[in-house]
Chains A and B, each alone.
Chain A
Amino acid sequence: MTLLKVEGLNKVFGQHYALSGVGLEVKPGEVHALVGENGAGKSTFIKIMTGVYTLDAGTIQWKGAKVDIPDPVASRRLGINVVHQDRHLVPSFTGYENLFLGLDYPANQARIGVNWKAMKQQAEKLRNDLGVDIDLNKTADRMFPPEKTMLEILRAMMLECQLLILDEPTASLTDQEAEKLFALIKRLTEQGTAILYVSHRMDEIFRLSDRITVFRNGQRVATVNTSETDKDGLVRLMSNAEVKKSQKRTGISATEENVLELKGLSTKDGKVKEVSLSVRKGEIVGIFGLAGAGRTELLETIYGLREPAGGSIQLAGRRVAAPTPKRSLENGVVLIPEERKRDALILGMSIRENMTLPVLKRFSGLLKLRSRAERTEVNAWMQEMNVKAAGSEQMIGQLSGGNQQKVVFAKALLSNPVLFLCDEPTQAVDVMTREEIHRLLKAQADKGCGVLFVSSDLQEVLDISDRLYVLHDSHFVAELDNDGVTSEQVLGYCYSHGKGSEHHG
């Protein structure tokens, strides 16, 4: 008997298929692992199962009957629950109160207030049944990460839960803490609850799961029995089957001086640990890492948005003690942020006002802004960058994602950059713009700039970079000369450094 059977699932965002023709079966009591690169469609799949997104095509069968999941309530009513990577607890509530979030509190005799005693009994019974050892009187903000994870799982089990989706549940846990989680998973499956286990961590997947489904580019590549495959086989399935070897840009001499050099750079929160790297003049250096590996944080630290706690940053051989965005821009360091709308654009302002914000000084006369000079310069850049808009006074929020990104790049170029820090610069832009951005970065590198390029799209990193670093759990695990590197090799580095090599402080 199958618990969940999904067939022909499609989900389209704009013109992009996040999922196409996906099918999946989950049996009661099994641990079914779901793996794939970033952007393979795992999250979208989870969101459809939990009613956050609606599907565009396909059918969902639950215990043999066709069902719709229009909203999260419907999903919970069926018996599907999810524990997300990031916590969804009310910090000031106790464990008990968090358990009953969104549920009917047991009423007291007067039918007005809450029957706290019944509530506690109900929660304690569940806690005992599942053998979870946490103090539910504590408020969530005083709990440790594993306790929070357990609490969330308990909450998922408050209603009769037959399919529990765990999305990277061990992301913030140490080895011993993870053990407790695995014991709980075992108990749940013995009760007949099925687990859909999403993780990047190979050893966990092989230890826990019965079957593994691999997603790639929004499609299901395969579902295999865990006992019949191994790590290498799985990595091969996740990366592109047709092996495309990378090709190096020609004409870069390795003797060029460094634009950027990091030595043992760390941050206080441990999002960046002991990172050393160099970017030479005219070089495009790629950084690849799975989500949460600390890519954005690394760029932010170099740019001055995060405080470094150790190590050094050198720009063109000169040490920068405390970088700030302002100082970085003055030194010719520009950041193309990952979250364009949040960190790069002021949506209520015009293209002109957005573009010149970092370099207003250049356009200020004695007292006032020289608006004619400003306009001329902005128009020239709009033409240069081929920005499609009604004019420099158009509100930036009205442009397409691709054109917005071109403005972001023009804004960066206005600062006469010597070092580009690009965080997912081609995210949510059309193919044409993506090509243009690649061409632009290569042209800038040819002119002697250094480029540090972060992308979740491994193929893109391999396409554009001269050298690349593999980032895993906040530190580099490999540095590769991008000459004949395959995506399989790179993914191998990401996955071979699983739980065993980690030390949490």
Chain B
Amino acid sequence: MVEARAGIPYVRLIRTYGTVAAGILIILAFSLLSPDSFATIDNAINISRQISFLVIIALGATLVMAVGEFDLSVGAVASFGGVFAAQMAVSGYPIWLTFLAPMAAAFIIGFVNGWIVTRFRVLSFITTLAMGTILGGINFRLTGGATVFENIPDGFRYLGQSEWMGIPVLSFIMLFVTLIFWYVMSHMPFGRKLYAIGGNESASRVAGVRVAFNKNMAFALCAMLAALTGILMASRLGSAHPTGGDGLFLSAYAAAFLGMTSFKEGVPNIWGTFVGAAIIGILANGLTILEVPTFMQDVITGCIVIAAVLMQKLGRGKS
């Protein structure tokens, strides 16, 4: 495939692995600037925990982007998952149910998102924006606007707060979810169909792919992962706020867009998103260690996303 493609090899290399290389450069730079605090095993483990939420929610966004749509409700769904699970835990439901029930609810919410988009041909932008607003309201109703934190059982905090072999369980979950979705997207017919739909919806339909159903599933899985993110956050913090997951929404898409610039040219992909989320997480971690103010961190992260996307356009020629 590489041999067959026309064009200057090194330009292609930059386009495919430029983002990964940039990530390594960032790590090197922080390591030089702060060898004692940044470049330590402890901090690496810390980063792996910090990015776990972003990775999982961004993977969901990646699925929806793979079919050529957007889900702007992921932040609200994450908040929803968090408060729903926390409320259930407080009410004394079994811990496994406090995880599964919100995820199932989110799955249905996502499927409805997809159904509105595919059945009535409403832009996914509008549909999911509205759904996010609805959920925002529901989240406040569920909590009365307050943070849920009293009487949360210890069992609910287990996944978020404990460690196996000195490594946070959250990091294992992140890796596990990434591997599963990498497998789904690269080695299962479902993943192939999602990419086909994103590549050319009309041709996919002619080829017998059930476009609407598969799109709905992408939305459903996306929402499910968003809810999982929210639940894990609640488990980590031992509390849930009605807008707790909202802030992840922009970072999730930043990660997914960064991811599109790696490995597969211009195509949303699982490992790319993982790398994208990792870069954003590492930046946040390193800049905090260097005591760069938060507003500057946002500016830098934004600039890096733009730079990565521009770099990918580099040498692509016309159209």
Which residues on A are within 8 Å of B, measured CB to CB? 303, 305, 325-326, 328-330, 335, 337, 342-350, 353, 357-358, 360-361, 363-364, 367-369, 371, 389-391, 393-395, 398, 411
Contact A358 B200 (CB under 8 A): no
Contact A398 B183 (CB under 8 A): no
Residues of B with C-beta under 8 A to A343? 202-203, 206
Q: How far is the CB of A212 from chain B (nearest CB, A)?
A: 39
Which of B44-52, B184-192, B217-225, B271-279 lies at the interface with chain A? Answer: B184-192
Q: How far is the CB of B316 from chain A (nearest CB, A)?
A: 13
Contact A349 B183 (CB under 8 A): no
Residues of A with C-beta under 8 A to B209? 325-326, 357-358
Contact A326 B199 (CB under 8 A): no
Contact A369 B199 (CB under 8 A): no
Residues of A with C-beta under 8 A to B1? 350, 390-391, 393-395
Contact A344 B192 (CB under 8 A): no
Residues of A with C-beta under 8 A to B193? 357, 360
Q: How far is the CB of B157 from chain A (nearest CB, A)?
A: 33
Contact B207 A357 (CB under 8 A): yes
Contact A398 B199 (CB under 8 A): no
A-B interface pairs (CB < 8 A), number: 89
Interface residue B267 (Cβ < 8 Å from any Cβ of A)? yes
Interface residue B178 (Cβ < 8 Å from any Cβ of A)? no
Pick the contact of A368: B187, B203, B267 (CB < 8 A).
B187
Which residues on B are within 8 Å of A, measured CB to CB? 1, 3-6, 183, 187-189, 192-193, 195-196, 199-200, 202-210, 266-267
Q: How far is the CB of B42 from chain A (nearest CB, A)?
A: 38
What are 7 contact pairs spanning A and B, CB under 8 A? A335-B206, A342-B200, A345-B203, A358-B208, A389-B4, A390-B1, A398-B6
| A346-B208 CB under 8 A given contacts A368-B183, A369-B188, A369-B189 | no
Pick the contact of B199: A348, A360, A371, A389 (CB < 8 A).
A348
Residues of A with C-beta under 8 A to B3? 390
Bound together, the chains give a CA A230 to CA B190 distance in angstroms of 61
Contact B267 A348 (CB under 8 A): yes
Contact A346 B200 (CB under 8 A): yes
In this complex, the member of B203, B206, B208, B210 whose beta carbon has the largest number of chain A beta carbons within 10 angstroms is: B206
Q: How far is the CB of A267 from chain B (nearest CB, A)?
A: 17
| A349-B205 CB under 8 A given contacts A368-B188, A369-B188 | no
Contact A342 B199 (CB under 8 A): no
Bound together, the chains give a CA A358 to CA B192 distance in angstroms of 11
Q: How far is the CB of B154 from chain A (nearest CB, A)?
A: 36
Contact B188 A305 (CB under 8 A): no
Contact B208 A398 (CB under 8 A): no
Bound together, the chains give a CA A348 to CA B197 distance in angstroms of 11
Bound together, the chains give a CA A305 to CA B206 distance in angstroms of 8
Residues of B with C-beta under 8 A to A350? 1
Q: A-B pairs with the 3 shortest C-beta distances? A: A390-B4, A346-B199, A360-B189
Residues of A with C-beta under 8 A to B199? 346-349
Contact A394 B4 (CB under 8 A): yes
Contact A353 B196 (CB under 8 A): yes
Residues of B with C-beta under 8 A to A393? 1, 4
A335-B206, A363-B189 known; 11 other A-B pairs, CB under 8 Å? A325-B205, A325-B207, A325-B209, A346-B199, A357-B192, A358-B209, A367-B188, A368-B183, A390-B1, A393-B4, A395-B1
B265: nearest residue on chain A (CB-CB)? A348
Residues of A with C-beta under 8 A to B204? 346, 357
Q: How far is the CB of B319 from chain A (nearest CB, A)?
A: 12
Q: How far is the CB of B199 from chain A (nearest CB, A)?
A: 4
Bound together, the chains give a CA A215 to CA B282 distance in angstroms of 68
A389: nearest residue on chain B (CB-CB)? B4
Residues of A with C-beta under 8 A to B200? 342, 345-347
Contact B4 A398 (CB under 8 A): yes
Q: How far is the CB of B269 from chain A (nearest CB, A)?
A: 12
Bound together, the chains give a CA A353 to CA B205 distance in angstroms of 15
Q: How far is the CB of A482 from chain B (nearest CB, A)?
A: 28
B6: nearest residue on chain A (CB-CB)? A398
Bound together, the chains give a CA A326 to CA B203 distance in angstroms of 12
B205: nearest residue on chain A (CB-CB)? A325
Bound together, the chains give a CA A391 to CA B195 distance in angstroms of 21
Q: How far is the CB of A362 from chain B (nearest CB, A)?
A: 10
Q: How far is the CB of B267 from chain A (nearest CB, A)?
A: 7
Bound together, the chains give a CA A345 to CA B203 distance in angstroms of 6
| A346-B203 CB under 8 A given contacts A394-B1, A398-B4 | yes
Bound together, the chains give a CA A330 to CA B6 distance in angstroms of 38
Residues of B with C-beta under 8 A to A367? 187-188
Q: How far is the CB of A473 from chain B (nearest CB, A)?
A: 26
Residues of B with C-beta under 8 A to A344? 203, 206
Bound together, the chains give a CA A364 to CA B208 distance in angstroms of 16
Residues of A with C-beta under 8 A to B206? 303, 305, 325, 335, 337, 343-344
Pick the contact of B192: A328, A337, A353 (CB < 8 A).
A353
Bound together, the chains give a CA A368 to CA B180 distance in angstroms of 12
Bound together, the chains give a CA A342 to CA B207 distance in angstroms of 12
In this complex, the member of B4, B187, B189 whose beta carbon has the largest number of chain A beta carbons within 10 angstroms is: B189
Contact A358 B207 (CB under 8 A): yes
Q: How far is the CB of B221 from chain A (nearest CB, A)?
A: 16
In this complex, the member of B192, B200, B203 whose beta carbon has the largest number of chain A beta carbons within 10 angstroms is: B203
Q: How far is the CB of B260 from chain A (nearest CB, A)?
A: 12
Contact B210 A326 (CB under 8 A): yes
In this complex, the member of A325, A329, A395 whose beta carbon has the largest number of chain B beta carbons within 10 angstroms is: A325
In this complex, the member of A346, A353, A395, A398 whose beta carbon has the largest number of chain B beta carbons within 10 angstroms is: A346
| A391-B203 CB under 8 A given contacts A325-B208, A369-B189 | no
Pick the contact of A326: B4, B189, B208, B266 (CB < 8 A).
B208
